[in-house]
Every structure is written in structure tokens, then in C-alpha cells.
Amino acid sequence: MAQITTEMKQWLADNRDTYAFYLLHAMFHDPLMRSAMLSVPVTVEDFEKEEHALVMGALAGAVKIMHVIGRQVPCPPTYEFLRTYLEVTAKTESADDEIIALAVKLIKELQEPAFCEQHYVIRPYFEAWYGSIRAKKAALMLRRDVIPDVPVQIGAMQRALSAAALAVAGEGEDAMQMFAGDQTLERALRRPTGIAGLDACLNGGWGPNECYLLFGGTGAGKSIAAGQCAWQEANANSGWPLIVTTELLPREYASRTVSNAAGVPINIIQDCENVAQIRQAVVGNPGSAYRIKKVDEVLAKFLERTRIQKVSPDEGMNLQTLLERECMIYASKMGHDPTWVCLDWLGSVADVTPGRNNGTSERAMLWEYAANSGVKFADSSGIPTLLLAQGVNDAQLKRVLTISDIGISKGLGKNMVAVIGVTNSIDRAGITAAERGKADMPRSMFLEDQFFCMCKARKGEGQNIPVRREFRFQRFTSPPV
């Protein structure tokens, strides 16, 4: 390490903020310098400004998590990548909104590559600073600490491991013993889905530790079904639903929920950006103004219990890790663990695995790996989990799903409790007949009557469930008899 000089001390005193900025910039853009600095280590306490400390904490947290899952933090990490880690650090450090806003601005400034040439300017100051100041701190801490007796600690660990091994081999209960000997009479209640006919096929609804796959073509209504199930969970089930999405924004799910639950036509509120605009649009429309009280009730319940978490598919996490992280964020924001989780949609996570090509067979393996990761999440957390997936072979154009569609989806969801396919939403037959001059053009190009096809059902009867999709109110209902 270089020795700090009088000139260096003066430069550090005069340029503290500049030095801190370039130190962070080096860790953002140069993975080797990042590794060297974090191994010293640089900590949040080394920064005088709170926004610098927040960004440092977020970066350190990201590096730790990525190391555990075998991934690398991108160079430079974007705000979208660091967003969650910044929220966790801000909560830990009790940072206010103003400091968080400054940290967000700083992260965006740190993206600028033009400052990379300054890394070599700060290196000697960095080495001198840590060679003098941090070395003294480390020496003082070692002097205070009691030197551990390593052989004694190793012996204690070995005895604990031996005792654990004996317990497992001896009296520890396995799954068969628990099934035969458990005398608990209270059964876990299943949670109704809110979609007519689907509960019967799931033996009453969603169950604990269970994972489900819902697939269909573009526009088939997967997200509508997810929003309808989330409202059922929050309202009728008194639960705490979480939707993790890479597609829709929270306002879009909120608008659909208001349309579905309060009976407000979606065209009135679909472009609203916030709660105030939704209320303004409802009150300002003569046909819906009388529903404002119901709208307020729905919005209050939605905001109290539901969280729509928009994530980027480029965050570099496998599905289980992603959902576990989002559940922790949910608990910190809502004060309660989620009772039902939905991912919208599976392909956005599976398709971004680095170092892979887009071959059909390899892509199928990635999707299956991501789906199995969702199964592991449901099993370990106990939370019913619904995964939405894109249909294959233009399934949105098919009135009835083919063996090929069903076979691929069952392969993807082979470890799941149920695989549900949504049939087409485009009136292809009517359009074709009109083009050939054999019929008038359909009033709507979209079909109202669809089917939920139970391609695989482990907890109930597999069958085709007829449903009617009410486009105006963004929901599925039972078709008229």
C-alpha cells in the first residue's frame, strides 16, 4: 500500500465529495476495482454524504446476493437493477424520501462512462487512505477482541454435527411417519379462485404449497384471470395477494379491479394514472357516477391488501430467488406475508438467462427450469403460486387446444398441481367466413365464450370449463344456460 502524504491529505480534505463519487464510479464500471475495494472492505460508514452511503449499501447488498446465486452484478448496474437493494438499504438506514431521491439521481449520474479515466487518478489516494486509516482501525479492533480458541470451536462443531446425524438416523420423523402418526384434525382450507367452475376442478380452490400453470395465447385473458383471482383473495378470502409482473403496470391492474368489482366499464378508467384520476373519471361520467361509493370501497380494499410489483426481467435472478425477494418486500411494505402469489409471466424470467441461445429445445429447457423453480418456491414457502405462460403454436387462434398444445404445457407443468389452458379469444371462423363472402363481418372480432381447459388436474376433476369473458368489465363469468 502507498503511504499517505501531506499533499494527499490536503487533496482528500478539499475534494471529499469528488473522491466519494469517483470511488463509487470505479465500483460501478470496473469489476476488478470493485472486487478489490469490497475485499478491503469499503463500507457505508466511509461516506460522509447519506446518498453516497445509500448507493454503497445497495451495491454491496447486490454483490452479496449475486455471489450466492452464482451471478455477477452488471457493469454498470442500472437503477432498475439496484432499485430493490436501495429500498432495503434505505429502510435499514431510516433514510427519508429526500435522501432516497438524491441516491436515485446519483445512480443515474454514475452510469456516465466518461468518468472512467479518473479511476486511475483516485487509485493512489484510495490505497494510501486505506493503508493508513483503515489499517489502524483494524489493529484496534483486533486488540479489543478475544482471540478465539480454534481447536475448541472445531471440536464443538464436530460434536454438534454428530448429534444431528444421530437424531436424523434415529428418532427423527419422516414424511410417512408424520402421515401415520399425526393426530391433527384441523384441515388446511383451500382458497376459492373467484372464477366460476374452476374451484370445482381444484377441489375447492388454491391449496398451500401448491403451484399452478395458466397458459394461453396473446390476449386470451391470462392477466384478467390473475387480477380477478387477486381481488377474490383480497376481498372474499380476506387474504394478501401479490402479483409480480414484467408486463402490466400497477395502475392497469387497479383499473381492471375497479372495473370488475365495482361494475365500471373499463373504457372509462383504463387510461387513468392514479387513484385521483380514477375517481375523477367515474364521477365525471353520468353513467357511472352513482357507483363512486363502491369504487371507493374497492380501491380502499385493493390498496390495503394487494401489491402489484413491477420488476425487470433483466435482474439476473432465478424465479425462486425473485419471488422470495418480492415476498420480503411485500412483508416490509404491507406488514403481512402474502397468502397468494402470481407471476405474470413465466417467459419473461426464463428467456433472459445469460449465455443461452434461442434454440427451441434449449428455450423449452429454460422454461421448464423456471417453472420448476416456481414449484420449489411454493413448496418451501407454503404460499399458493400461480404462473402465467404464453401459449404455443398460435393457441390464441384455436377454438380447441390441440394435443400438441396440451403435451407441451403438461411437460412444462409436470411438477405442478394443475395446468390450465385458456382457449382462443379471436373469432377466426367468423372473420374467415366474412372474407369469403359467406357471412357478415362479426360485430366483434373477439369471442366472448371461451374455455378453461384442465390439461392436468392432481387435486380435482379435469375437464373443459365454459366461461364467458366480459370485455367491458374485465372478468370471467359463467355463460348463460
Mind listing the pLDDT tens digit for each residue in 140-198? 554 444 455 556 566 666 666 666 666 555 554 566 776 777 776 666 789 999 998 88
Task: Output the CA–CA distances (angstroms, integers) from residue 431 to 66, 437, 444, in the order listed.
Answer: 51, 10, 10
* Position 398 pLDDT exceeds 50: no
Q: Tell which residue, 380, 448, 36, 416, has the closest CA to residue 213.
A: 416
| 85, β-bridge pairs | none
Collect contacts of 307-310 with beta carbons under 8 A, ≥24 apart. Answer: 307/241, 307/242, 307/243, 307/333, 307/334, 307/338, 308/243, 308/245, 308/248, 308/249, 308/250, 308/253, 308/254, 309/242, 309/243, 309/244, 309/245, 310/245, 310/246, 310/248, 310/249, 310/250
Average pLDDT, the chain: 77
Confidence of residue 113 (pLDDT cuts 50, 70, 90): confident
- What percent of the chain lies above the pLDDT cut of 90? 27
- Rounded CA gap, 150 and 257, in Å? 60
* Position 354 pLDDT exceeds 50: no
DSSP annotation of 399: S
Q: At what angle do helices 292-305 and 250-262 cross, to 10 degrees?
A: 130
Burial class (CB in 10 A: 0-12, 13-18, 19+), 93: middle
- Rounded CA gap, 412 and 417, in Å? 12
Burial class (CB in 10 A: 0-12, 13-18, 19+), 375: buried
pLDDT at 149: 56
Q: Tell which residue, 70, 87, 76, 75, has the closest CA to residue 318.
A: 70
pLDDT at 351: 52
Task: Output the CA–CA distances (angstroms, integers) from residue 474 to 100, 118, 178, 286, in the order listed.
Answer: 37, 55, 44, 21
Report the chain's C-alpha Rg in angstroms.
Answer: 28
Stretch 210-227: mean pLDDT: 88
- Rounded CA gap, 345 and 354, in Å? 18
Q: Tell which residue, 379, 373, 375, 368, has the closest CA to residue 410.
A: 368
pLDDT at 212: 92
Q: Say which residue, 368 or 229, is predicted with more confidence.
A: 229
3-state secondary structure 136-154: HHHHHHHHHCCCCCHHHHH
pLDDT at 397: 39
8 is written with which cell numbers? 494527499
- Rounded CA gap, 86 and 67, in Å? 18
pLDDT at 224: 93
Q: Tell which residue, 461, 418, 370, has the closest CA to residue 215.
A: 418
pLDDT at 430: 61
Q: Say which residue, 238 or 75, is predicted with more confidence.
A: 238
Minimum mean pLDDT among 263-267, 295-299, 398-402: which range?
A: 398-402
| 477, β-bridge pairs | 468
Minimum mean pLDDT among 142-146, 271-275, 418-422, 439-443: which range?
A: 142-146
pLDDT at 39: 66
Q: Say which residue, 313 or 218, is predicted with more confidence.
A: 218
Stretch 303-332: mean pLDDT: 84
Q: Say which residue, 421 or 155, is predicted with more confidence.
A: 421
